[in-house]
């Protein structure tokens, strides 16, 4: 659709979708119009939108789409860019390799652990807390858990004997905690923070599992993993390589689209000089005529 911005002619993407008896016009980043059959007269400005889009489609057809390539501004286009080109700081390659090797060596020792008690779990979580947060100093493992964890412990903290492996196993197998987040040791409003899953020998998992789904906690996650290795605690961290790729800037961010890692490109001289050459832009989607 052709529009003017700051006196300049540009074109912006427009999708039309029909769902049941209604139509939806989607303007990227600007909103959506719902069009339903009724007796009300269509407002003139709405008519103009679609009349201009129809008129412009003939120009698109005549130029074989070249007019769109010339007029579509980059803040309405989608692409991807590696984090190292937009992040303020990135982990050096040498440090990334060192941590990868450190983890691989730890895994190579094939350390295992059998059943644990609630105190065993909280003490292991405390190793993580002390590594990540200075404010953990002086707190007991239970106080740390109450401070940083999700809070929905699903009855885990109601266990009577914190040293009883049988009670912890019974609570875990009971399944009443399902739907709660007893293992989210660091809470996050967005997705989840950091999880520390206990070992489960019955399911062939004789190790703790450290997980993270929110990149905002990536540095904390790395400090925790290093502490678990230092203390020779059997664990696995399947997210480690992904987190290292993120911290070292090797992970791609989405440009001008919705994603966990999102970078918004601003049409300015500063952004063009700093970022444009590093962005891999997707090919524009141009209407195909019958």
The string of pLDDT tens digits covering residues 118-128 is 999 999 999 99
Separation between Cα atoms, residue 174 and residue 158, nearest integer Å? 13
**Would the pLDDT of 203 be above 80?**
no
What lies within 8 Å, CB to CB, of 173 at 6+ separation is: none
**pTM recorded for the entire structure:** 0.87
Q: What is the pLDDT of residues 14-68, one digit of tens each?
A: 989 999 989 999 988 888 989 888 888 888 888 898 899 999 999 999 999 999 9
Helices (DSSP H) in 87-230: which residue ranges?
Answer: 93-108, 118-132, 141-148, 165-174, 218-230
Q: What is the pLDDT of residues 166-198, one digit of tens each?
A: 999 999 998 888 889 999 999 998 888 999 999
Provide the 3-class DSSP secondary structure of residue 64. Answer: coil
What is the reported pLDDT for 24?
A: 93
**Would the pLDDT of 202 be above 80?**
no
- Average pLDDT, whole number, for the chain? 94
What is the reported pLDDT for 258?
A: 87
DSSP letter at 156 equals G
Separation between Cα atoms, residue 99 and residue 96, nearest integer Å? 5
Name the helix (H) or strand (E) containing 4.
strand 2-5
């Amino acid at each position: 659709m052709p529009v003017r911005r700051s006196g300049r002619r540009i074109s912006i993407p427009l999708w039309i979708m029909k769902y049941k008896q209604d139509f939806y016009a989607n303007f990227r980043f600007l909103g959506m119009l719902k069009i339903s059959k009724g007796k009300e007269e269509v407002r003139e400005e709405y008519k103009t939108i679609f009349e201009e889009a129809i008129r412009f489609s003939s120009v698109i057809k005549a130029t074989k789409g070249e007019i769109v390539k010339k007029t579509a501004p980059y803040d309405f286009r989608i692409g991807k860019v590696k984090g190292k080109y937009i992040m303020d700081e990135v982990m050096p390659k040498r440090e990334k390799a060192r941590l990868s090797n450190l983890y691989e060596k730890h895994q190579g020792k094939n350390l295992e652990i059998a059943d644990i008690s609630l105190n065993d779990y909280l003490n292991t979580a405390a190793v993580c807390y002390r590594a990540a947060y200075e404010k953990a100093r002086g707190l007991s493992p239970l106080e740390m858990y109450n401070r940083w964890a999700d809070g929905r412990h699903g009855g885990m903290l109601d266990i009577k004997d914190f040293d009883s492996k049988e009670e912890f196993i019974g609570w875990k197998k009971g399944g009443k905690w399902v739907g709660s987040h007893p293992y989210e040791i660091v809470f996050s409003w967005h997705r989840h923070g950091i999880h520390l899953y206990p070992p489960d020998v019955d399911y062939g998992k004789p190790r703790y599992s450290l997980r993270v789904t929110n990149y905002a906690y990536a540095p904390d996650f790395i400090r925790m993993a290093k502490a678990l290795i230092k203390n020779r605690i059997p664990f696995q961290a399947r997210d480690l390589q992904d987190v290292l790729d993120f911290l070292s800037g090797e992970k791609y961010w989405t440009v001008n689209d919705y994603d966990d890692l999102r970078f918004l490109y601003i049409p300015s001289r500063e952004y063009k000089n700093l970022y444009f050459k590093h962005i891999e832009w997707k090919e524009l989607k141009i209407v195909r005529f019958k």
